[in-house]
Structures are given as structure tokens and as C-alpha cells.
Amino acid sequence: MRIGITLPSFRSDGGAAIDAARQAEALGLHGVFAFDHLWPLGQPERPALSAFPLLGAVAAVTNRMALGTLVARVGLVPDDVLLAELLSLERLAPGRLVAGLGTGDSESAPENLAYGIAYTPADRRRLQLGAVGRRLRDAGVPVWVGGGSPATSELAADLGVALNLWGAQPSALAAVPPRTEVTWAGPVPAELSPLVEWLGEIDRAGATWAVCAWPVPLEVLAEAGAMRGDLARD
């Protein structure tokens, strides 16, 4: 199983996120991921770094590990713009992009509405996600579809791309049909022993990735991965 981490992007300065990306690569983690939010959910008074310039900066200071969106939401920008943003990252970091895509939900709707961006019905957003995801897949970019509803999970299966489940229990991962690759993301324990145990449960449930939510200590995460054999020891 591959191990990644989300970057600390809910702030006005990108220095901490860039430093975290450098450290993650030095410790042997497999990837770093950025949220695509205009503010932290439910906290419009707080800042948020834009995912695409942040990941572009990460591409410039790293060489090996994957970088991705978790998840880029359809509907915030026109579909062609979203596609161009993601393919630009692929050109900056060839073979390293993971294009996480999502439809958004009622919790993220206020971000759209605050800036006069239409929040369209779920079936319309799924059509958009499918169109963007298909073009990225056909361009050879790995795609993760953020799950949440049966219809969205079925869309991932129809596209033949991975399904990402945020904060899911191992039983939910294990319930995903074998024909669909499943990845996991969410908060994890900050202490070594429970973290090793949790990663083991995620692995046994069939996840190919575990993307751990900031702020788990990077050294602890790397040690847990090394103990499990997911990461090489120095």
C-alpha cells in the first residue's frame, strides 16, 4: 500500500506546505495531496491556498513522489479550465499527477454561492465529473473519484478509475466491488502503535493508498510505513 499525506494548505502562506512536501519526499512517502476549497469547511473567515499553484510549486521542489488533488471539484471553474489546470500539472511533473475529482456536496455549496458560482444538481455535477475524468483517463493520468453516494461510486466503476473514500471505515473499503480500485484518505492516529494498526486495517480492507490528513507527524508516519514494509528504511 502506498502512503501519502495532505498538505497544510488552510493558511495564507505556502511555506509550511512546501516544507512539508520536501520533508515527505525525503522521508520516502509516496505522495502529497492538496484540497480544492476556497476556505476550510464551515470556516469562511479562514484562508485557503489554491490547490493548483500550490501543487505546481511542489512539482518544482520534488522529483519522485506523486502529487494530487483531493479532490478538485467540478463546477468551480468551467470543465475545460479544470482539465487544463490538471494537464498543466501533468506537464510540470510527468507521470506523477493523481487527478482526484469530486462533485462537492451540501457542505461545500456555500463556497460556490459566496462567489456567485452556480451550485448545480448532483446529477449534473456527476455528468461533468464523468466528462473530465474520461478525458484525463484517456490522457493517461490516474484518476480518483471522490465517493460519497452510490451513483458516484458507480461512475468510478464505469470509468474504470479508482474510488477514493474519505474517512471511511475498513468495512466500507472492503465492500467496494473488486473490479474497482479503492483508495482511502482521512484522519489517522498521531501515535506510532495505533497508526501502524490502523494502516494495517486499511491495507487488509483492500486500499491501494492511504492518504493521511495533516497534521500527523511526518516522522511518525514514515516510521509506521517502514515498520509495515510500505516504505524503505534508510
Cα–Cα separations (whole angstroms), residue 118 to 71, 75, 112, 217:
19, 8, 6, 38
Mean pLDDT estimate for the chain:
96
Under DSSP, is residue 24 helix (H, G, I), strand (E, B) or coil?
helix
Strand partners, 4: 31, 211
Return the CATH number at 58: 3.20.20.30
Mean pLDDT over 214-234 rounds to 93
Instruction: Give domain status of residue 110, yes or no.
Output: yes
- Write the DSSP assignment of 3-19 as a string of letters: EEEE---SSS-SHHHHH
Q: How many helices (H) and strands (E) does the chain have?
A: 9, 8
**pTM (2 decimals)?**
0.96
Instruction: Give domain status of residue 234, yes or no.
Output: no
H-only helix segments in the chain: 15-26, 51-61, 79-92, 109-114, 122-138, 150-159, 170-174, 192-204, 218-228
Q: What percent of the chain has pLDDT over 90?
A: 94
Instruction: Give domain status of residue 109, yes or no.
Output: yes
pLDDT tens for 10-64 read 999 999 999 999 999 999 999 999 999 999 988 999 999 999 999 999 999 999 9
Q: Which domain holds residue 135?
A: 2-228
Task: Please tell me the total count of domains within the chain.
Answer: 1
Cβ neighbors of 55 (< 8 A, separation 6 or more) are 34, 67, 68, 69, 89
Cell 465529473 maps to which residue? 129
Instruction: Give domain status of residue 233, yes or no.
Output: no
pLDDT tens for 80-115 read 999 999 999 999 999 999 999 999 988 899 999 999
Instruction: Give domain status of residue 28, yes or no.
Output: yes
